[in-house]
Structure 1
Amino acid sequence: MTALKVPPGFVWGASTSAYQIEGAAAEDGRGPSIWDIHSRIPGRTNNGDTGDVACDHYHRWPEDLALLKRLGVDAYRFSVAWPRVLPRGRGAANDKGLDFYDRVIDAVLDAGIQPWLCLYHWDLPQRLHELGGWTNRDVAGWFADYATLVARRFGDRVRHFATFNEPNVATLFGYAMTWCAPAMADRDAYFRAAHHLNLAHGAAVDVLRDHVKGARIGAIYNMQPVHPESDTAENRHAAKVLDAHWNLVYADPQILGTYPAVVAGDFEPYVQAGDMARICRPVDWFGMNHYGPIWTRADADSQLGFAWGDNPNPVPHPDIGWPIYPDAFTAELKRCAARYRLPVYVTENGMGRGADEEKVVGGRVEDPYRIAYLKLYTQAMEQAIADGVDVRGYFIWSLLDNYEWGSGYGNRFGIVHVDFASQTRTPKDSFSWYADLIQRTRKG
């Protein structure tokens, strides 16, 4: 393996999220989230899997942070569970929940690792959902109050904050479709949720700026090129619309102060005077999650005029078994840098595999396909840097095999294997590969 050419001070990291790893869903005062409710509805998740236990990180965090230190990363991106620190979403705070994150943050710092805290990774408190949740304009104020609690409690030790992770998934799949909580499939609810989430972002940026001296604030967007399934006028238009909803509906208003033109008219009924100024607040960095391109086709019967399409030429990579497109990663890094003029951190990139394909044999998990994927994609990032993109960090998804939302435990993204019956952790070959890449790159 050769070292990558990255700028001085480049941040190597790993990412997780609260609901996907913590478990302890009803312990120490934690309130229910919309995902606790959603995962119990028959047919909504693979095998009816829930995050009740997940990786049991709530109890096993010292072991997980020891793995993080062994990996040799500079930074750890995690999320705070809103219902763990505010069980009802607002009102009285839960001291035991706050204490848990105190312990994690202190241990991360003691390991010489930077904590990167994400305020929201899809786990809206259920009590707020019952009040309208993201469809209620008041949610921006509720989120600002939550951000204030987090800033005051952890801002003496945490400097890097993300307001949201992948708001496109949380809203598009949760309000226009039924793939994620709260599965409303309601066009009006979707537009309200998206706009109110943008307002919440702006309010949280202001709160963090006011309460945390030297805060470095951003948001995390899932950025993927969108292609028409076939080359027709209708499908090309569908691709533009999906590109707007998937890639631009959050980053554009939050950073540029406008909704993308192709959908701006749809948002007009929900925008009040002064809203765009409230949404567009100064941020310091752009978080980009990327896995690969997506395809679409026109669908007049869908909520937004498009449907997910099929790749018309799915040629698998010989070492991976899946069609992959690292050039699309380079192109998307270039597009984001040119459009938003911010330093970019790759906050998620990685590869999932079926649970039956990753077995512990002789104390080892061989995952050459993941190593091949990561090698190609980190080289694609290196190419973007060589072409002038200001990429300042890379966070692998994910440290641990975890609860993958609607896929339950049937899809493994971790570089550490988790036996969900025994909770035994086994670093995979990709863990050693990533640790070696970090060390070699640091040495130059």
Structure 2
Amino acid sequence: MRIQFPENLTWGAATAAFQIEGAPDVDGKAPSIWDRFTARPGRVQDGSHAGIACDHYRRSTDDLDLMAALGLGAYRFSISWPRVMSGPDGRVNRRGLDFYDRLVEGLLERGIRPFATLYHWDLPWFEEQRGGWEARATVWRFADFAEVVARRLGDRVKHWVTVNEPLTVVAAGYVSGDHAPGRRNPLMAFRVAHHLLLAHGAALQRLRGLVPDAQVGPALNLFPVIPRRRADVRIAERIDALANRLFADPILAGRYPNPVRRLLSAFNWTLRPGDLDLIGQPVDFVGVNHYSRIIIERSRLPWLGFRLARSPDPNAVHTDMDWEIYPRSFLDTLTWLRERYDNPPVYITENGAAFADRVEADGSVQDPARRDYLEAYLFMLRKALDAGSDIRGYFVWSLLDNFEWALGLSKRFGLVHVDYDTLQRTPKSSAYWYASVCRTGGFDLPEPMYRSLLATALDDSLDLIEEHDLARATP
């Protein structure tokens, strides 16, 4: 069965600066919070570091040629704040800017549209020393950074992501402490969330002033929150508000969700006049990062009151990240976004899977599980388009195997395998398949798989409990 997409849909792949660039102290780059965090013993699961990563900083021309060979129509990359800004006095590191200038030129020369992300988690260490995202002043210095970048690249870069996955920054950086800067302060997490939202709004404002034809939006990691049992419905409602709607509501509806407002009131924290106006400026698109659903059940864990539950499906398959492969969640997420927020334009800014890929004796890397994953999720994307969702493009996470934050080099998300000893790039079998998708705008799905996915897309009885929709419907 042929699954075909609109001709104007953008096909691309995505990366992030800290995960691929390496060169942490080359050409005037300042340290980031992740440079300091990963240098602390025990912070990275496999003991690796990102000092080299994929060495993209030195090998960007080769990587550009790879993108062209794969037929990518677009490439989403992030611009490292500490590579561009040299220190707390606002000095600009011209050599850092030159790198991104060359990258953009190389993309355009190869017919690849650049999508630039301004914040993908690598806060400069000098900003952390001044309070980091806990300090409101960081918002305006981020806007200054955005202005510097826009003045240099805005004549050629027309698609901008302001902030990537603010939820992960908050949850992993300030609640669990598993990510930089390694805090465990749930009360401070709300302040950080608000400042990240303000940073989005302030950067958007600067970009609009400098690049009038720019398309600007955030990249939010969105997912269905499913209660494990009927007794878990209320806690699932609260987690949905504190995860998905904590960021989507202020940006797309100009307000915080009721559960968040109640919490802020309990903490005696009031918003400043004009904050929600800045945050809620109209965006040109919403970037959606999506991998799976989460299933919630009550617990007695301090502060949280919940824990993640395993899928009750005995046949559930998981990626190497231990994330359930559940394509229906992609359709549910896009449906929720369309219905709740009046169908905003959407780019899928991340979607993909990690598997334990290895190089075969003949030098190839066969990853049929990744192809199966992508086929299933793209089928659900097609169903969302059929239902009326305004989806403009799709970016695989990721172009290259890379440094997976606190998990180090142990998880491989790439279409292209990276040998971390030799830095050799080897396109996996999924890369050749995706190149065909980019070239033809579609793919052929085996009839049995098509029928199975179609049944999943249409069958509401697959929900864990009838009330699960309550977790997405509370105002």
Q: TM-score, normalised by structure 1?
A: 0.95
Please list the CA deviations of residues 67-88 of structure 1 after superposition, one character each: whole Å capped at 9, or x if unmatched. Answer: 1011111110000000000132
Aligned residue in 2 for 1:240: 237
> Distance in 1 between the 2:135 and 2:368 partners?
47
Q: CA deviation at 1:345?
A: 1.0
> Distance in 2 between the 1:377 and 1:137 partners?
39
> Distance in 1 between the 2:33 and 2:272 partners?
28
Whether the 8 Å contact between 1:349 and 1:395 is mirrored in structure 2 is: yes
Aligned residue in 1 for 2:369: 369
| Equivalences for residues 27-46 of structure 1 within 5 A | 27-46=26-45
Of 258-267 and 394-403, deviating more is: 258-267
Describe the shift of the 1:270–1:61 C-alpha distance in structure 2 as closer, same or farther (beyond 3 A). Answer: farther
> Distance in 1 between the 2:30 and 2:391 partners?
38
Please list the CA deviations of residues 164-183 of structure 1 after superposition, one character each: whole Å capped at 9, or x if unmatched. Answer: 11110011110112111111
Aligned residue in 2 for 1:286: 286
> Distance in 1 between the 2:308 and 2:317 partners?
22
Instruction: Report whether the alignment pairs 1:50 with 2:49.
Output: yes
Aligned residue in 1 for 2:100: 101
Describe the shift of the 1:369–1:432 C-alpha distance in structure 2 as closer, same or farther (beyond 3 A). Answer: same
Instruction: Report whether the alignment pairs 1:263 with 2:265.
Output: no
> Distance in 2 between the 1:284 and 1:208 partners?
12
Aligned-partner residue type, residue 263 of structure 1: V
Q: CA deviation at 1:360?
A: 4.0
Whether the 8 Å contact between 1:345 and 1:391 is mirrored in structure 2 is: yes
Instruction: Report whether the alignment pairs 1:216 with 2:218.
Output: no
Q: CA deviation at 1:415?
A: 0.5
Describe the shift of the 1:328–1:419 C-alpha distance in structure 2 as closer, same or farther (beyond 3 A). Answer: same
> Distance in 2 between the 1:308 and 1:322 partners?
11
Aligned-partner residue type, residue 345 of structure 2: P
Aligned residue in 2 for 1:324: 325
Please list the CA deviations of residues 293-323 of structure 1 after superposition, one character each: whole Å capped at 9, or x if unmatched. Answer: 1122334443343333333335235999984
Partner of 1:411: helix, strand, or coil? coil
Q: CA deviation at 1:90?
A: 5.4
> Distance in 2 between the 1:3 and 1:112 partners?
27
Aligned residue in 2 for 1:353: 355
Whether the 8 Å contact between 2:319 and 2:325 is mirrored in structure 1 is: no
Please list the CA deviations of residues 368-388 of structure 1 after superposition, one character each: whole Å capped at 9, or x if unmatched. Answer: 100111111111101111111
Aligned-partner residue type, residue 290 of structure 1: H
Q: CA deviation at 1:358?
A: 2.2
Aligned residue in 1 for 2:410: 410
Instruction: Report whether the alignment pairs 1:254 with 2:251.
Output: yes
Aligned-partner residue type, residue 330 of structure 1: L
Structure 1: which 4+ aligned runs deviate by more than 6 Å?
318-322
Aligned residue in 2 for 1:337: 338
Partner of 1:119: helix, strand, or coil? strand
Instruction: Report whether the alignment pairs 1:15 with 2:11.
Output: no
Please list the CA deviations of residues 62-110 of structure 1 after superposition, one character each: whole Å capped at 9, or x if unmatched. Answer: 1111010111111100000000001325510101100000110000000
Describe the shift of the 1:270–1:182 C-alpha distance in structure 2 as closer, same or farther (beyond 3 A). Answer: farther
Q: CA deviation at 1:361?
A: 3.0
Aligned-partner residue type, residue 172 of structure 1: A
> Distance in 1 between the 2:47 and 2:270 partners?
36
Q: CA deviation at 1:344?
A: 1.0
Whether the 8 Å contact between 2:142 and 2:199 is mirrored in structure 1 is: yes
Whether the 8 Å contact between 2:3 and 2:443 is mirrored in structure 1 is: no
Describe the shift of the 1:324–1:186 C-alpha distance in structure 2 as closer, same or farther (beyond 3 A). Answer: same
Instruction: Report whether the alignment pairs 1:147 with 2:131.
Output: no
> Distance in 2 between the 1:22 and 1:48 partners?
18
Aligned residue in 2 for 1:83: 82
Describe the shift of the 1:322–1:187 C-alpha distance in structure 2 as closer, same or farther (beyond 3 A). Answer: closer
Aligned residue in 2 for 1:163: 162
Whether the 8 Å contact between 1:118 and 1:165 is mirrored in structure 2 is: yes
> Distance in 1 between the 2:390 and 2:213 partners?
21
Aligned-partner residue type, residue 315 of structure 1: N
Aligned-partner residue type, residue 266 of structure 1: L
Q: CA deviation at 1:206?
A: 0.5
Q: CA deviation at 1:250?
A: 1.2
Of 88-97 and 282-291, deviating more is: 88-97
| Equivalences for residues 69-80 of structure 1 within 5 A | 69-80=68-79
Instruction: Report whether the alignment pairs 1:176 with 2:175.
Output: yes
Partner of 1:220: helix, strand, or coil? strand
Whether the 8 Å contact between 1:3 and 1:441 is mirrored in structure 2 is: no
Structure 2 stretches of 5 or more lacking a match? 445-475
Describe the shift of the 1:87–1:189 C-alpha distance in structure 2 as closer, same or farther (beyond 3 A). Answer: farther
> Distance in 1 between the 2:318 and 2:403 partners?
28
Aligned residue in 1 for 2:126: 127
Describe the shift of the 1:240–1:361 C-alpha distance in structure 2 as closer, same or farther (beyond 3 A). Answer: farther
> Distance in 2 between the 1:314 and 1:412 partners?
25
Q: TM-score, normalised by structure 2?
A: 0.89
State the aligned residue count: 439
> Distance in 2 between the 1:249 and 1:329 partners?
19
Aligned-partner residue type, residue 351 of structure 2: N
Q: CA deviation at 1:3?
A: 4.8
Q: Identity across aligned pairs (percent)?
A: 43
> Distance in 2 between the 1:273 and 1:187 partners?
24
Partner of 2:161: helix, strand, or coil? strand
Aligned-partner residue type, residue 126 of structure 2: R
